[in-house]
Amino acid sequence: MPLKLYNTLTRRKEDFVPLDPANVRLYVCGPTVYDFAHIGNARPVIVFDVLFRLLRHVYGDAHVTYVRNITDVDDKINERAARDFPGVPLNKAIRELTEGTAVIFRQDIAALGSLPPTVEPRATEHISEMIDIIERLIATGHAYPAEGHVLFNVPSMPDYGRLSRRSLDEMEAGARVDVAPYKRDPMDFVLWKPSSDEEPGWISPWGRGRPGWHIECSAMSWKHLGEVFDIHGGGIDLVFPHHENEIAQSRCAFGHAVMANVWMHNGFLQVEGEKMSKSLGNFFTIRELLESDRFGGRAWHGEVLRLAMLRTQYRQPIDWTVKAAEEAESTLLRWRAHDVVPAAPDPGVLEALEDDLNLPAAIARLHQLSDPAVLAGSLRLLGFSATRDEIAGYDARRRGGGATVDAARVEALLAERKAARLAKDWAASDRIRGELTELGVAVKDNKDGTTTWEIAR
Ligand code: AMP
Ligand code: ZN
């Protein structure tokens, strides 16, 4: 049966036909790295990991390229770096923050059973590609420089808004457009903006500045996947304005009818029926679910969280509940009752997945399987590999033993880091901080000049 995917661009489920079956190309917008990822952020990671695994199964592991970027230039990053690293030069503070957060993100999503993408490009390493695209847009009349900024001129693209299918009024409201005197049209959006001396910035034809968010994905997908590729994904909130603007930039720069053939969007996650928010106290980071007792009074194995996430069709909103996590755990324990060598996955499970990742149907099928080897093979296809013992004792082990780190080693590394920083050897200090993060240690540089640490996981 051919793979069918729901395409936001056409609002239809379509047969998937790759541009090149020898290199199927998938791009998913990745995290902005300034804080721990929350369980809502985990949804696109897990959903598109299942798609990545399915594509690898269908086309062969070597024939799928999955790009998920890291956004490491953003004004939220600048603010957080200045707050959390007082006294450290801003560019160094930004590096420490973004690199540390990226390491934590990778650990979190690995715990959820997700494979690393084929390429994980960082925005700051693609500034020249961004400048290249902006220059093409200016040359073709789709963008204009103004007061140190460069703006994309929305009226220059007749079918702007095709993905979100919104009226211009709705788009204006949705984009919460800033009225700036240098804009030709209120809908015009920023491709490049000027940086003050303190802010991170790169030399460009329009002066020292930094990119807007949307241009980053156009540049990284172009560099790693080409002018047109197969599938672009992300959460439903990204349809407008982010994806609409990515499309505008890439199509106008390269002159194609589409940027990607298929656009896929996961639904939003809410907690126990309510929007997840810090003020409601129902905001959970992935790390908290894996390591603390904040959700349901206990810690949860990553594959339990994965199954709880996959029980709902990916386009539907998901209600994240303790009850669903408990059910996912007992289901996994039952499925893992036998320690067997995995066989080829069940054709019924595959058929369900090929129907626009129909995971509820795939899971219903798993419940019917009687051969433990086929069950294990099907679970492996879906990214489940933990044994019964790993899952069964997880919370108790976390409480009993707790995380252990070698305190003497941590102190030695901190001393080395202090020396490196006094010598202004930022490369060494970054490396040491990375080592500490790998050890699961969170370092805090206090305002009074002292440094303290704690176990972060
Ligand atoms: P952000 O860091 O807000 O750019 O989000 C990173 C990714 O997580 C994007 O693909 C978002 O669409 C997705 N995302 C953010 N919040 C949620 C949520 N509550 N439920 C599902 N996906 C989310
Ligand atoms: Zn993007």
CATH assignment of the domain containing 70: 3.40.50.620
CA dihedral sign of residues 73, 75, 81, 86:
positive
Contact call for residues 5 and 13 (beta carbons, < 8 A)? yes
Instruction: Tell me the mean pLDDT per 10 residues along the chain, length 457.
Output: 95 98 98 96 98 98 98 96 93 94 97 98 98 98 97 96 85 70 93 95 97 98 98 97 97 98 97 92 96 95 98 98 98 93 97 98 98 97 95 87 70 86 83 82 75 73
Q: Which two tokens stand for residue 282?
A: 């129902």
Ligand 1 neighbourhood includes 237 CB (under 6 angstroms): yes
Ligand 1 neighbourhood includes 32 CB (under 6 angstroms): yes
- Whole-number Å distance between alpha carbons of 446 and 161: 47
- Element (DSSP H or E) covering residue 97: helix 90-111
pTM for this entry: 0.88
Q: What's the CA-to-centroid distance between 245 and ligand 2, angstroms?
A: 9
User: What's the confidence (pLDDT) of residue 403?
Assistant: 56
Domain edge (last residue) among 205, 239, 266: 266
The answer to whether residue 36 sits within a structural domain is yes
User: What's the confidence (pLDDT) of residue 404?
Assistant: 64
User: What's the confidence (pLDDT) of residue 314?
Assistant: 98
What confidence tens digit (pLDDT) does each residue in 329-347 have?
999 999 999 889 999 999 9
The answer to whether residue 11 sits within a structural domain is yes
Q: What is the span of the domain harbouring residue 218? A: 4-266
In sequence order, which residues have a C-beta less than 8 Å from that of residue 229 and are 6 or more positions away?
Answer: 19, 25, 26, 27, 221, 259, 260, 261
User: What's the confidence (pLDDT) of residue 176?
Assistant: 63
What confidence tens digit (pLDDT) does each residue in 89-121 have?
999 999 999 999 999 999 999 999 999 999 999
Ligand 1 neighbourhood includes 29 CB (under 6 angstroms): yes
The answer to whether residue 364 sits within a structural domain is no
User: What's the confidence (pLDDT) of residue 419?
Assistant: 85
- Whole-number Å distance between alpha carbons of 365 and 382: 13
Which among 237, 265, 289 is the best mutation to test ligand 1's pocket, defined by most ligand atoms within 8 Å of the CB?
237
The answer to whether residue 16 sits within a structural domain is yes
What confidence tens digit (pLDDT) does each residue in 141-165 have?
999 999 999 999 999 999 999 999 9
Taking the CA of 44 as reference, the closest ligand is: 1
The answer to whether residue 404 sits within a structural domain is no
Neighbours of 239 (CB within 10 A): 18
The answer to whether residue 440 sits within a structural domain is yes
Domain edge (last residue) among 246, 266, 286: 266
Q: What's the CA-to-centroid distance between 265 and ligand 2, angstroms?
A: 12
The answer to whether residue 189 sits within a structural domain is yes
Domain count, the chain: 2
The answer to whether residue 227 sits within a structural domain is yes
Which ligand 1 atom is the nearest neighbour of the CA of 275?
A: 19
- Whole-number Å distance between alpha carbons of 353 and 54: 8
Domain edge (last residue) among 239, 266, 293: 266
